[in-house]
């Protein structure tokens, strides 16, 4: 088997003899009290998957303009099934909105974008996905190494079989596609049955998504995003072009001075980010406020957050009819 990343060891199809896995075993034994023999045996079952390395190198956002990207999520089928999901779980969603302050339509939209309301939650073994990316994907090895550790800790603490759980090619799990660190930090037992099950239990999944947003600072009742206009001489440098530009640091008034003017009435002193999305002919412009930034904490992408928000608004409109 050819190694996509030849600087790292690629001794075989599993990670039982991988040097980075050996380092992790040492750390988990010393820091978390794992049994060495059990970890070594587990890593011999962790399979390296080139399809995962291929998938993570080609995310949709890097290959599609906005007018194509949004069509993945903003379509009649996803709306129809979102309405069905809302009706089926109305009581749970309304309780989550009351307890966490997050609109039910935002919760439904996240689950709809992430897994088509639980229908497409990923078929990769999480152990394989995280091991492949931790040990054989240098660009983000530190992140996935930490997630693999979190995964092993959570499966041990929850009494789960780490070889049985499935998820996305990046190791995201369940209805809301939580990474292991997010599960450990934000998953809740919303039906009080003694277990936070985000894989099979939509009640726990709904509560967990709502809790994630609350813990990341969702502000009930505030404007999320406003359409805007942009002057012809507005510099491209003020528009979001990378994940490190998502956090609002400039005011609405400052953007207006640079030619980006909100179509909604906003507090001039509110912090915002400016976005420019490509259409088939031209561009559309937006100002994202604090709650928009909170949505990007789920996935560090302006187009992702806009898809979630616009789907949520379509769902809210149909549910209110």
- Residues with catalytic roles: 114
CA 153 – CA 145 distance, rounded (Å)? 13
Sheet holding 225-230, edge to edge: 250-251, 271-278, 283-288, 225-230, 260-262
Helices 302-319, 66-73: inter-axial angle, 10-degree rounding: 40
Rounded CA separation 128/135 (Å):
11
Q: Residue 125 forms beta bridges with which residues?
A: 166
* Torsions phi, psi for 30 (to 5 deg): -75, -45
Query: What H or E segment, with its residue span, contains residue 67?
Result: helix 66-73
Cβ neighbors of 76 (< 8 A, separation 6 or more) are none
- CB-neighbour burial class of residue 204 (10 A; exposed 0-12, middle 13-18, buried 19+): buried
- Residues facing 286 on adjacent strands: 227, 275
> Which two structure tokens, joined as six digits, stand for 246?
């998502």
Tokens found for residue 318 = 């149909």
Per-residue tokens: 167:
């998820």
């Amino acid at each position: 088997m050819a190694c996509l990343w030849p600087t790292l060891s690629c001794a075989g199809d599993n990670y039982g003899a991988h040097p980075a896995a050996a380092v992790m075993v040492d750390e988990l034994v010393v820091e978390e009290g794992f049994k060495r023999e059990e970890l070594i045996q587990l890593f011999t079952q962790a399979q390296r998957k080139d399809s995962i390395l291929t998938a993570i190198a080609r995310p949709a956002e890097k290959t599609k303009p906005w007018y194509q990207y949004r069509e993945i999520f903003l379509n009649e089928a996803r709306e129809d099934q979102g309405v069905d999901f809302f009706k089926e779980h109305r009581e749970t969603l309304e309780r989550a909105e009351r307890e966490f302050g997050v609109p039910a339509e935002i919760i439904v939209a996240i689950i709809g974008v992430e897994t088509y309301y639980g229908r497409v939650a990923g078929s990769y073994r999480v152990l394989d996905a995280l091991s492949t990316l931790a040990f054989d994907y240098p660009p983000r090895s530190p992140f996935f190494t930490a997630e693999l550790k979190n995964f092993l800790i959570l499966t041990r603490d929850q009494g789960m079989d780490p070889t049985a759980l499935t998820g996305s090619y990046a190791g995201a799990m369940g209805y809301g596609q939580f990474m292991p660190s997010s599960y450990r930090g934000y998953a809740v037992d919303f039906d009080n049955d003694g277990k936070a099950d985000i894989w099979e239990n939509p009640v726990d999944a709904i509560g967990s998504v709502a809790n994630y947003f609350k813990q990341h600072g969702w502000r009930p009742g505030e404007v999320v995003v406003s359409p805007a206009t942009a002057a012809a001489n507005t510099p491209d440098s003020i528009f979001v072009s990378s994940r490190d530009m998502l956090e609002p640091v400039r005011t609405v008034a400052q953007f207006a001075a640079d030619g980006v003017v909100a179509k909604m009435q906003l507090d001039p002193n509110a912090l915002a980010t400016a976005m420019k999305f490509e259409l088939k002919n031209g561009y559309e412009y937006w100002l994202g406020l604090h709650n928009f930034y909170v949505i990007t904490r789920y996935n560090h992408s302006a187009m992702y957050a806009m898809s979630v928000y616009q789907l949520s608004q379509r769902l809210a409109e149909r549910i209110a009819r």
